[in-house]
Structures are given as structure tokens and as C-alpha cells.
Amino acid sequence: MPVGIEFLKGHGTENDFVVLPDADGLLDLTESRVRALCDRRRGLGADGVLRVVRPDFGPWFMDYRNADGSIAEMCGNGVRVFAKYLVEAELMPSGEFTVGTRAGERHVTVHDDGTVTVDMGRVLVTGTGTATVGGSAFGGVAVDVGNPHLACVTEVPVAELDLKLPPGHDPVQFPHGVNVEFVNVLDDGALRMRVHERGVGETRSCGTGTVASVASWLYGTGRRTGKATVDVLGGQVSVVIEEEGSTLTGPAVLLARGELDQAWWDAL
């Protein structure tokens, strides 16, 4: 009887992931396998895959893939789910530890109430830009949170936007694509965001996108540091931006575990 491939399913503010424990890096995680896993009809369904790898040196590494099979540098919701997995699997003690990502090492704190705080590193405002949705243009701020964002603060209620298609952006400014956020200011320190993610489509949350949104809002008010809550379709997170770093705090949920059929995997 062949042994199947272990998986878990989790989400952070309904940005959902398939977690693939692969300590020794033996899984051949091809683009077509990622696409099939993330497909909501022929697979498990998810916005992305988090492969859990133990490098020879350094902390556990989050190998993040978008639902279309592409590789991204960082995932703020994913890293919270990743940290929760490491604790639940008793690979790390609850509390504080470091996780490796393509954007560098990230310090995480797994709290007793089920939330996780992630040190998201330095947030860089790299310029301004324009996103277009259905013929309307939205001015935004380009923000590097390890991955690229164009965060557009707007007075158009974000609930009214049709984000089925990718928002238009300048391909010269963002040669590797971009995650695009639309942000309403509800109050001082209270934002609402919708996002169209590179490599995925509209998702119910994007952790790095919430950090970019707060940076964009602060930029528009002439500030570089500050904090805000960000309401997303899947819940709420809290963001703090300081000169030398930033943090993201929000829930992380693991809801299922099981085994992928080996023959299904092999056929992909």
C-alpha cells in the first residue's frame, strides 16, 4: 500500500493555503501540481501552497507558491499559518522563533489566543503609480514589502469595485507583476481593503497587502510611521509600521489534515 503525501489546510483571514510538510525537500512541487492542488474543483482549493522545508542551516523555510504555480517572495498571511503549523506539529515551541522566506528571515510570535505576530521587515515606498479598473484610474503608492504592491487609497467604496479581472498597471514599473490594493479610510487608524493578488486573483485577504495599504495611507498623510487596523473580506488584521521595521498581527487557522492520493499526484 503506497503511502500518500501529507497535507494540511489552513487560512489567515480567509486567505487559504495547502500546507505540504516536506522537511527533507523530497517533493517535486511542479507548477502543474501547485495549480491542481489550488484548483477549487479538481483539487483541494487554495490561494497558495506553503511547502515546509528544513534547510541544512538556518530556520524552517516557507516555500510559498501562488495558485497559478508562480513563486513569490513573501506571504504575510501564509507565514502566520506556517508558524502555527510548526507549533502544532511540535517542530517549534509556542512563542517566538524565526522563519525563513525568500524575502529574508522573519521573526514570529505565536500567541496563546491563536493569533500570530510577524515581523514583516522594512517597508519601502518606491514611488507612485496608477491602477485601472473598468476604465477608471486609481492613483496609488508603490510599496515593497518583500514583494511588490500598488496600494491605492480611494474614496470610491471598495465594495463597489469589480475585481474579477486584474487591474491594469504599468508593466515597465512592475516588470514582475504586482499585487494591487484598493483602500478606504474608515477613520484615523482604521482602513478597509480589497486586493487583487498577482498569481491568484481577488483574495479575501493579503497580509503583505495590508502592510502596503497602511504604508500608502501614511504616505498620503505625510507620515512614514504609524499603525492601523485593516478590515478585509475575511476578517481584520493589525499593522504597525516603524522606521526600521513593521509588524502584522492576525489569526492563523489550521482546519484539516489528510493524505493526497499518490496516484493522483504522480499523474500531474
To the question of whether residue 77 is assigned a binding role by annotation, the answer is yes
Fill in the amino acid letter for 25. Answer: G
For the bound state, the minimum distance from the C-beta of residue 102 to ligand LBFN2T5F, rounded and expressed in Å, comes to 10
Residue 207 binds to ligand LBFN2T5F (criterion: CB under 6 A): yes
Q: Sort 169 into a burial class: Cβ within 10 Å, 0-12 / 13-18 / 19+.
A: buried
CA pair distance 75, 95, nearest whole angstrom: 20
Among 101, 117, 184, 208, binds ligand LBFN2T5F (CB under 6 A): 208
User: 75 or 86, CB closer to ligand LBFN2T5F?
Assistant: 75
To the question of whether residue 51 is assigned a binding role by annotation, the answer is no
Q: Sort 68 into a burial class: Cβ within 10 Å, 0-12 / 13-18 / 19+.
A: middle
Binding mask 66-105 for ligand LBFN2T5F (x = CB under 6 A): x-----x--xxxx---------------------------
Point out which span in 18-26, 91-99, 155-163, 203-211 binds ligand LBFN2T5F (CB under 6 A).
203-211
Point out which span in 26-34, 154-162, 197-205, 226-234 binds ligand LBFN2T5F (CB under 6 A).
197-205
Q: Is the dihedral of CA 147, 229, 247, 96 positive or negative?
A: negative
**Site residues (vs ligand LBFN2T5F, CB under 6 A):** 15, 66, 72, 75-78, 147, 179, 197-200, 203, 206-209
- Binding residues for substrate are 15, 66, 76-77, 147, 179, 197-198, 207-208
